[in-house]
Structure formats: C-alpha cells, structure tokens
Amino acid sequence: MSALEVSSAGPLAPLSAPPRLRLGRQLAAGLFGSRLNTALTVLTVAALAWIVPPFLRWAVLDATWRGTAADCMAGDGACWAFVGAKLRFVLFAFYPPDLHWRPALVVVLLLGLVVATAMPRFWRRGLLLGWAGVVGGSWLLMAGWPGGAGGLLRVVPSNQWGGLPVTLLVWTVCFAAAMPLAIGLALARRSKMGGLRTIAVAYIELMRATPMVAILYVAMLIVPMALPEGVTLDKTFRAMILITLFWAAYLAEVVRGGLQTIPPGQYEAATALGLSYWRSMQLVILPQALRVVIPGMVNLAIGFLLATSLLAVIGIFDLLNAAKASATDPQWLGFYDEAYLLVAAIYFAFCLTGSRYSRWLERRLSRKPDGGSR
C-alpha cells in the first residue's frame, strides 16, 4: 500500500505512524528533545546509577534472609529475618497472639467491602446494608463480646488494637461516613439561603484551617470532658467521629468543584422536566459532578490513608506505629529500615491500586451505553 492516502480534507496526507513508533518518538522527544531535557535525563541516570546498585547490594545480595538478630548484625546487608520474625506484630500490634484470626478476618472483610464498593455492578441499596454489616461485624470481632462464643469472642480492649486492621477500619469507615456529609456541605455552600451557606462556609474553613493533630487531641482530651457524667466513649471511636467531621470538610470542597463544572443548562433541563430540587440533584447533577471529581476523590483517599499514621499521637498503634514499635524489641533492636520499608511497600500497594482504579473507573464511566466514548 502506498505511504500516502487521500485525506478527506483534499490533498494527500501521510499515514499515521504505528502506535509503538509514535510512543518511541514521544519518549525520545521527552528525554532528549531539548538541551534541558537531555541534561535532566543524564542527571537522572547518573543519580540512579549512584543509588540503585548500593541499594540492591544492601537489600538483596548482602541481605540476611533467615536467622537471628546476631546473624543480621554479623552481616552488612538488610535483615529480612527481622521481617519474618516481627511480621505478625507489625500487622496486628499488641492484639493477643492466640486471637490473631480475628483481626486477620477483619482485614479480609474490609478489603472485600472496599473491592465490592469499587465495582459499579454492586452500586445498589444492598451495598449500604453490606457496609453496616461489615463495619459492625468488624468492630465486634476486634472488641469481642463478654462471655461470647465460648471465649472465642472474649473482650479485647482497644488499647491492644493496632496494625493494619486499625488503619483500614479508620480509613474505610471515616471516608465512607464523610462522603454524605461532604455532599451536604457542598450543596449547603452553594445554597441560596444565606444563613445555611454561611454556616457551611464557616465549618469548612474552620476544619480546613485546623491541623489534624489538633483534631485528634480534641477527641482525646476535650470530648471526654464534654460528655455527660457517667458516659464514656472508646478513644478509637472518638477519634473516628472527629476524623470523619474533619475529612468531610476536605471532601466537600472537591464535591463543590465538581458541582461548579455542571453547566446551568443541566439545572434548567431538570427543572423543565418537573423534577424537584432533590430529585434533580439525585438523578441529574450529582452523578455528573461526582464523575468529574473521581481523580480528586481518589487523591484525597490516598492522602487520608497516609494521614492515619497521625493516630500515634493519641496512643493508637496504626500500621506505621506498630512497625516502629517492632524495632524496639530488645531481641531485634534497631532494625528500623527494614520495618519502614515493609510499611512503605504496603502503603505503596494500596496507593498504586487506588491510582489504577481511578483511571479504570474514569474510562468506564465515560463510555456511552453503545460502547463508544462521550
């Protein structure tokens, strides 16, 4: 076939290059398209050549994969034997070892709930019942029940909770609970009622101007003093309530940004169809607005996952704090690098999965019913 084809515009036009060739040209232009790009490429390669070989030698070639702390101290590389010995502590912290099946089951339930929520095929009312059941069951598994199930569900106080189950429980429950509050705040901030709009603006700006550490200290110190005499709340539960209120302010701004992208014609069309305000929001406006802000919401979700490490300031052993505490064991003292790398790998897996899911969901929701794109 000729290298030229007749263009619909008139004159002959060259055929488009194959996808691989186009990708190669784009990559070459990005790496060496200018003097600055070339200099940055050379500097990056030099930095990698300086960092990667020593790291691989420490992490793989000279590493101690099995043995004791003495074996690790005798070597020059990483001590992955420490990870094998302390993995259960990093994941479950001070939870009783004979009951580790309970927090492990909580992790499976919460991850399964998140996966089901991420799939559009499960976006039905039954999913709300699933959330209530899984969250309630997870809390029951972690806390136990007095005299329940022949001792299998014996009570475990929250000061023994920690590790990955606590991180996932706080992250999933607080983010899910903050979402409806954020939608309400975003709608209130755009409301025509001045008093409601002022309250929403004041709440959002106050929360966004307050550090999360201060919010956690309020949950730990101020909330117990504000409760009626004789009424107590678990510190983890108090922290989750305040974190939900805190995250809702940030999510509200993301949702408001999505609402601002909807053209006025959409509102007018919904009104012309006779839809009430709430029905138009439910059926017309919010589905479009939330689809637009998927990247922003996923970005916030990843940031919130990493922010759970601040729970350490009120004595809650999240995943990162449990890893730090594992390196203070006198038998395995000082192996902080390995502990932090393990936690970094777990966080990276969650963040990468969330990022890829965001791209997949954007592509899926942008398709027309006949399979085309909008």
Helix H, strand E, coil C: the string for 98-146 is HHCHHHHHHHHHHHHHHHHHHCHHHCCHHHHHHHHHHHHHHHHHHHCCC
Report the C-alpha gap between 280 and 273 in whole angstroms. Answer: 9
Give me the sign of the Cα torsion angle 122, 123, 126, 130. Answer: positive
Q: Which residue has the tokens 């729970």?
A: 311
Please give the pLDDT value at position 33.
78
Kindly give the confidence (pLDDT) of every residue in the chain, 374 residues in length, as a single tens digit, with 9 standing for 90 and above.
Answer: 444 444 444 454 455 556 677 767 777 777 787 888 888 999 999 999 999 999 999 999 888 999 888 888 888 888 999 999 999 999 999 999 989 999 999 999 999 999 999 898 888 888 999 999 999 999 999 988 876 655 677 888 888 998 999 999 999 999 999 999 999 999 999 888 888 999 999 999 999 999 999 999 998 888 888 888 878 888 888 999 999 999 999 999 999 999 999 998 888 888 888 888 888 998 889 988 998 898 889 889 999 999 999 988 888 888 999 999 998 888 888 899 999 999 999 999 999 999 899 888 888 877 654 444 44
Please give the pLDDT value at position 17.
58
Please give the pLDDT value at position 147.
65
**Tokens linked to 361:** 């969901």
Q: Which residue has the tokens 């949702």?
A: 255
* Nearest Cα to Cα of residue 243 among 199, 201, 211: 211
Please give the pLDDT value at position 9.
47
Please give the pLDDT value at position 373.
46
CA dihedral 311, 315, 319, 325 (to 10 degrees): 140
Please give the pLDDT value at position 4.
44
Please give the pLDDT value at position 295.
86
Q: How many residues does the chain have?
A: 374
pTM of the predicted protein model: 0.83
Report the C-alpha gap between 244 and 251 in whole angstroms. Answer: 10
Please give the pLDDT value at position 367.
64
Please give the pLDDT value at position 207.
94
Report the C-alpha gap between 313 and 298 in whole angstroms. Answer: 26
Report the C-alpha gap between 64 and 335 in whole angstroms. Answer: 12
Please give the pLDDT value at position 32.
80
Report the C-alpha gap between 88 and 324 in whole angstroms. Answer: 13
